[in-house]
Amino acid sequence: MSAPSQTGRQINFPEYTNFLDHLQEKGGPFKFVTAHKRFPVGSKVGTAPKARSLAEIRKSVLESPRVMSVISEETLRRKCAPEDVKNEAEALLDEMSHTFNLLNVRSFGYAVCKAMEKLYDGIFVNEQKLLEIREISKTNSVIFMPSHKTYFDFLLLSLICFQYDIQLPAIAAGQDFMSMKFMAGVLRRSGAFFMRRSFGTDQLYWAVFSEYVQTHVVNNDRTVEFFVEATRSRVGKSLHPKYGMLQMILEPYLRGSAYDIVIVPVSMNYDKILEEKLYAYELLGFPKPKESTGALLKAREILNNPHGSCFLTFGDPISVRDHFGVSLHRNTFVCQPDSQFVLHNQAKLEIKKFAHHVVELHNKNAVITVWSVACMVILQTFDRDDQATLSYSGIYSGVEDLITLLNQLGTIVNIQGNLDKNLRYYLHMHADLFEPFDVTSDNFQLRFIDFPVDHEKQGVPIKVMERAVSRLILTTYSNGMIHAVDSEGIICTILLHNGIRDLAKVRDEFCWLHELMKREFVTIPGELPQLFEKSLKILTSSGILMTSDDGILEILDQKKANILSKLVSPYFHNIEIAFGVFSENKPMISDLGELVGTVQKNISDAYQNRLPNTRLSFLSTEPIKNAFAALTDFGIFEKSSSGMRTNFAKLHQVKHRLANFMKSHDFSKL
């Protein structure tokens, strides 16, 4: 397969190189993993480059002022011998630390390369950025912050670093991987270090883990990799970022222990996600399977199925020193005791904004595929009739029209070959979603199959669940393009259905709606007015809207405004349904999680009664939980000794404003 080609306006789209071509040029996986490597040895400012041993790293953690201070404090608090606490600290370090070994990497890398050859037609990377990163890593600590779509993310990133002689990363992995027995050891020897999902108030764990991560950063032992979203996105779009690990990584810079730290955002995109069906079942509420080596071995059958291409887009390296400039004054942190590190509110805000900025770059650099567009078109067809039989010609026409609109907005859709060939390629790749069809026919029919569900859940009939699996898979892929149109779609919906035309009022409504949906459409805190101006400029320059001299917005292209509105409206209807679960007859709530099942049953009932604006994908637990989190942000729930009390006055305000936004809007008829 040739390197990706693009249609539409070129917007600094990077040049890709196929790693699998390099693999063959080197003589295959065995010769690739056994080749002599020249990984650059990092250096601490003011010292000569030196590779520290695992024993030296361990010694620096346990003898650090921070850890020794906490050991002393815990000894007094527990009224025990210092040796007892020190032994616990050593045990914690053993539990979390990697045991990186290049021989293990080569052995494991061979197996990974063989798997990649079977799974993928191409693994595309923007090579020039990797060469730049390699040079930077010689003098600065490099932190990779990838998006997180699948377990394969960290394997692929390490593989590419190996190819380009970049020091392989120390990878922050969840502690649940430790249950995989044999594989946990392999991952540990490949550079993975393990962290608890929650540290709580365990000060000793905080101290040991922080020191362990930061000693890698300060001494530039290895590059470091962690996922700012903290977990895999099962919904195919960016998750709201977490801030704890980022604060930990930036602490050495703020303290003056590191002159600079370089952050590299990495966008990971896949034609076919290995866990796509697993994600669908999890989103319906079925328990996530426990991580185990046995489950991994059983999953070998996936190697027999085509998974297309994957794309690793390395963003421009970000100098922390340059990015924060004067917004974070290091002098307020340098004098803090080694055993303490306290961020003031302004510093927390700047770090929070930076995390969101990285997620924004993930989206900006993401590769949007024809399959993502096709899934959006199919879902919109199902909005009119969820049991419709699809025709290839109908899907093709819808995809062509939507790509034309995206190009008009300045968004590139990656088309490998011509559109017809590429669309058939994706349908063949995802043939397991459909009843058998002949992809070579001029026009053919597509009927989705139902996937087995062994029991009813939360009162939702099995038949509804079985049909919902494919809709959730479609939504996961369609979400891969929503970041390109969410803000423009919100503006168009305001103008079409809210009756507001005044520029200032539209901006105010836009900011409120985005704040409500900040977990669905991740944005940078405090920068919504700027996002509005940027989105409005795109809509006006593309001829869809016009702003008059007196600040009144007018729609110039009603059809395209309707299309954009239709793309985002289901996300709002999804949370609108979730809001409807609260009743003044039951003002106290013991656990919001208990309400998820009730919302799912309400959605199932609405679907079976053929109520408009109801998608089966709304059964996903993710947007329902996001809706409850939004209500929490808006102060709807007030904590009390017996649970949470719903403030119905505030709730009605939010519901009324949202309903006004969606007024008289049936997206199934647009």
pLDDT of residue 57: 95
CA distance 214 to 193: 13
| Token pair recorded at residue 603 | 């959605």
Are the CB atoms for 357 and 365 separated by under 8 Å? Answer: no
Report the percentage of the chain scoring pLDDT > 90. 76
Could you tell me which residues are beta bridge partners of residue 192?
A: 171
Amino acid at 105: V
- Per-chain mean pLDDT for the chain: 90
pLDDT of residue 325: 83
Is the pLDDT at 454 greater than 60? The verdict is: yes
C-alpha distances (whole Å) from 241 to each of 53, 145, 393, 620 are: 33, 11, 40, 20
- Which H or E element spans position 415? strand 414-415
| Residue spans of beta strands (DSSP E) within 307-403 | 309-314, 318-319, 390-391
| Token pair recorded at residue 275 | 């866990």
Q: How far is CA 367 from the centre of its chain?
A: 14
Are the CB atoms for 568 and 489 separated by under 8 Å? Answer: yes
CA distance 242 to 263: 16
pLDDT tier for residue 365 given thresholds of 50, 70 and 90: very high
- Which H or E element spans position 644? strand 643-646
| Token pair recorded at residue 629 | 């989190």
SS (H, E, C) 171-238: EEEEHHHHHHCHHHHHHHHCCEEEECCCCCCCHHHHHHHHHHHHHHHHHCCCCEECCCCCCCCCCCCC
Amino acid at 386: D
pLDDT of residue 304: 74
CA distance 485 to 100: 43
Residues 554-568 have pLDDT tens digits of 999 999 999 999 999
Among 147, 45, 39, smallest CA distance to 100 is for 39
C-alpha distances (whole Å) from 377 to each of 269, 380, 477, 542, 567 are: 20, 5, 11, 22, 9
pLDDT of residue 354: 97
pLDDT tier for residue 6 given thresholds of 50, 70 and 90: very low
Is the pLDDT at 302 greater than 90? The verdict is: no
Is the pLDDT at 463 greater than 60? The verdict is: yes
As a whole number, mean pLDDT of residues 222-245 equals 95
pLDDT of residue 235: 96
Pick 545 or 338 by higher pLDDT. 545
DSSP classification of residue 460: B
pLDDT of residue 21: 94
| Token pair recorded at residue 138 | 């010689």
CA distance 388 to 382: 7
Give the 3-state secondary structure of residue 314: strand
pLDDT of residue 666: 61
CA geometry: angle at 52 spanning 49 and 58, to 5°? 150
CA distance 604 to 597: 10
CA distance 225 to 142: 9
Is the pLDDT at 298 greater than 60? The verdict is: no
Compute the radius of gyration of the chain from its Cα atoms: 26
Is the pLDDT at 610 greater than 80? The verdict is: yes
SS (H, E, C) 114-178: HHHHHHCCEEEECHHHHHHHHHHCCCCEEEEEECCCCCHHHHHHHHHHHHCCCCCCEEEEEHHHH
48-364 shares its CATH topology with 370-482 = no
The CATH number given to 370-482 is 1.10.10
- Compute the Cα dihedral for 654, 660, 663, 667 and give only its sign: negative
Residues 170-225 have pLDDT tens digits of 999 988 777 777 788 899 999 999 998 878 788 999 999 999 999 999 999 899 99
CA geometry: angle at 46 spanning 40 and 47, to 5°? 50
pLDDT of residue 335: 65
Among 39, 313, 317, 30, smallest CA distance to 162 is for 39
As a whole number, mean pLDDT of residues 525-545 equals 97
Is the pLDDT at 9 greater than 50? The verdict is: no
| Token pair recorded at residue 108 | 């494991």
Is the pLDDT at 13 greater than 80? The verdict is: no
Give the 3-state secondary structure of residue 297: helix
| Token pair recorded at residue 511 | 């900011």
CA geometry: angle at 412 spanning 411 and 414, to 5°? 150
Is the pLDDT at 537 greater than 90? The verdict is: yes
Residues 496-515 have pLDDT tens digits of 987 789 999 999 999 999 99
- Domain-by-domain residue ranges, the chain? 48-364, 370-482, 486-669
Quickly tell me which residue has 């990799």 as its tokens.
Answer: 225
CA distance 517 to 519: 5
Please state the pTM of the whole predicted model: 0.93
Is the pLDDT at 74 greater than 90? The verdict is: yes
Burial 185-216 (b: 16+ CB within 10 A, else e): ebbbbbbbbbbeeeeeeebbbbbbbbbbbbbb
As a whole number, mean pLDDT of residues 573-580 equals 94
Phi first, then psi, for residue 228 (nearest 5°) are -65, -20
Residues 240-292 have pLDDT tens digits of 999 999 999 999 999 888 999 999 999 999 999 999 999 999 999 988 665 54
pLDDT tier for residue 4 given thresholds of 50, 70 and 90: very low
C-alpha distances (whole Å) from 364 to each of 38, 242, 267, 368, 654 are: 32, 19, 9, 10, 31
- Which residues have a Cβ under 8 Å from the Cβ of 555 and sit 6 or more positions away? 492, 495, 496, 544, 545, 561
C-alpha distances (whole Å) from 20 to each of 309, 366, 398, 422 are: 10, 20, 33, 20
C-alpha distances (whole Å) from 607 to each of 315, 450, 583, 610, 612 are: 42, 16, 21, 5, 8
SS (H, E, C) 490-542: HHHHHHHHCCCCEHHHHHHHHHHHHHHCCCCCCCCCCCHHHHHHHHHHHHHHC
pLDDT tier for residue 329 given thresholds of 50, 70 and 90: confident
CA distance 517 to 255: 35
Are the CB atoms for 193 and 99 separated by under 8 Å? Answer: no
CA geometry: angle at 222 spanning 221 and 225, to 5°? 140
Burial of 598 (0-12, 13-18, 19+ CB in 10 A): middle
pLDDT tier for residue 299 given thresholds of 50, 70 and 90: low
Task: Indicate the fold that domain 48-364 takes in CATH.
Answer: Glycerol-3-phosphate (1)-acyltransferase (3.40.1130)
pLDDT of residue 92: 96
pLDDT tier for residue 333 given thresholds of 50, 70 and 90: confident
